[in-house]
Amino acid sequence: MKQIFFKQNIVKFLFVIFLLSCAMKSVAQKSYYEIKIFKEIGATSWTYLKNGLKEAQEKQVDAVFLHLNTYGGQVDFADSMRTAILNYSKPVYVFIDNNAASAGALISIACDSIYMRQGANIGAATVVNDNGEKMPDKYQSYMRSIIRSTAEAHGKVMVVENGDTLQKWFRDPKIAEAMVDEFVYIPGIIDSTKILTFTASEAVEHGYCEGIYEDIDGIIKGALHESDYVISSYSPTFGDDLKGWLLNPVLHGILIMLIIGGIYFEMQTPGVGFALVVSIVAAILYFAPLYIDGLATAWEGIMIVVGVILILLEVFVIPGFGIVGIAGIVLLISGLILTLIPNDFFTFEKVSGEQLYIALATVLFSLIGSTVLIVYLSSKIGVEGVFKNLALNKSIDDEYVGVSQKENSLVGKEGITETVLCPSGKVVIEGESYNAVSESGYLNEGVKVIVKKYATGQIYVKEIK
């Protein structure tokens, strides 16, 4: 009996030891999360990083690895990415897999530690346009400021040099600034006529890289000294790519052109037609991703809607063109611009010059493009190509006309306006009421007029002064 009891206790003891060892192993095991950015810095890469950091937070990982290989991209999205990294609650490490140029350098400097592959490079953060030409100094000034402040955000460390204990920047802000400005001179590092770009070994030497490794596993084992760990990674969805595509400034310009063009052509035709549908769909595709991303707010959408309503009122209800139409245009353009910049109800402290420039250029060039498109399509409708059948283009001989030609005899006769003409309305001629169009602009009720012509089933009158 004692032997059986002893065996049972031994089994229980071994089982408890097994559970404790499993628990200790699970506690000791480190977890890491990888986010790959292998494309131009823009709306899509910002979506990857934002969603990846959120998923990593939910998984409660110990640290995040940003696997980076990029030649740069848009400064406004790079600014959003570096801000998200600086404010993240867990350590964010970057592994530069060959390139971290321009906006990629800014994002890398924001990370807690920088690791590079042998042969990789970091730097060359001067702001350029789409043609690779250097932008004016006001854009460089902003980039110098944010890359310097990003380096300063990591603070200072205590170092011992020649027996003295000194405080030095963890990442030297002047080195970061030299990656933007060719006039920054640092003895032994860069001349005053060149933009700074580090190789992997140079970055290690000057404190801009914590080590050279061939992959993330090598970093974890060699630099973080962990042998028991797991790595999960962010898998982009179709929705991420679609959202990133819809946030592209070029597409924004096209959508604005479709919104304005659709409204114009809808005003030229009776009823609800294809043009209005195009305008509504374009407006949804334009505003929805911005609203979801937090750039656009409800009040900005209200500004756009009110602007369109005021323009329609000016065209169809109020005679002439005055303050209502101008107010509508101002609200529409202002609303479109404000949706593209991260303002907090007309508070613009966080808006960079680059962001404002892109927003203004997108909207203004879209307005110009929509005007050109309207003129071009107006000349093609009913004439040739795919637009030929969008309007009637056949002439009808008099012998086939099935409507009364009585109005032909009214040319030269006088009458009086029965209603307001703005410019169309009703007139009374020889005791009968007729639809008419004013050639004298807006006419009040009771004004004497003369019939000047009859065309396309409509009489045209002019005020008798």
The residue type of 205 is: E
**Contacts of residue 227, Cβ cutoff 8 Å, sequence gap at least 6:** 221
Q: How many whole angstroms separate alpha carbon 266 and alpha carbon 276?
A: 6
Q: Same topology for domains 23-237 and 398-463, yes or no?
A: no
In the chain, domain spans = 23-237, 248-390, 398-463
Confidence label for 230 from pLDDT (cuts 50, 70 and 90): very high
Minimum mean pLDDT range among 83-92, 98-107, 289-298, 377-386 = 377-386
Q: How far is CA 171 from the centre of its chain?
A: 31
Q: How many whole angstroms separate alpha carbon 179 and alpha carbon 143?
A: 10
- Each residue of 423-445: pLDDT tens digit? 788 889 888 888 888 888 778 88
- Which range among 36-50, 125-139, 231-245, 389-403 has the greatest average pLDDT? 36-50
Identify which has the larger pLDDT, 273 or 235: 235
Q: Are 111 and 208 in contact (CB under 8 A)?
A: no
Topology of the domain covering 23-237: 2-enoyl-CoA Hydratase; Chain A, domain 1 (3.90.226)
> What is the full DSSP assignment across 157-180?
EEEEETTEEEEEESS-HHHHHHTT
Q: How many whole angstroms separate alpha carbon 263 and alpha carbon 315?
A: 12
- Each residue of 77-107: pLDDT tens digit? 898 899 999 999 999 999 999 999 999 999 9
Summarize the confidence of residues 362-367 as an average pLDDT: 75
Find out if CATH 1.20.1050.10 is the number for domain 398-463. no
CA dihedral 87, 88, 90, 91 (to 10 degrees): -70
Q: How many whole angstroms separate alpha carbon 180 and alpha carbon 137?
A: 11
